[in-house]
Amino acid sequence: MIVVDARGHQCPVPSLRLRSALADAPGGTRAELLATDPMARIDVPFLMQELGGRVLSVAETDGVISLVVESADARPD
């Protein structure tokens, strides 16, 4: 699993870092975004919809939001 630590950064940086981490990853890759910006709860689901992936879980502990996502499956040629 890829871990993207965007704690302390404001929108749109967490989503941009997650997008970058998933850009070259194979289909079905799971990633966890760690963020402190509450907008990540809104931005990441939109990002994953745009990328064809999905959000698997959202949790918050001590002000850190953890979003686990899965990239879209590889498309056959």
Q: Which of 54 and 73 is assigned the larger pLDDT?
A: 54
pLDDT of residue 24: 87
pLDDT at 75 over 60: no
What is the average pLDDT value for the chain, to the nearest integer?
Answer: 94
CATH for 2-20+28-70? Answer: 3.30.110.40
The SS3 call for residue 52 is coil
Model confidence pLDDT, tens digit, residues 22-39? 998 999 999 999 999 999
The SS3 call for residue 17 is helix
The SS3 call for residue 33 is strand
Q: Which of 67 and 74 is assigned the larger pLDDT?
A: 67
pLDDT band at 54 (very low <50, low <70, confident <90, very high): very high
Which structure tokens are listed for 50? Answer: 């745009």
For residue 42, what are the contacts with CB-CB under 8 A and spacing of at least 6?
A: none
Question: Dihedrals φ, ψ of 35, to 5°?
Answer: -140, 155
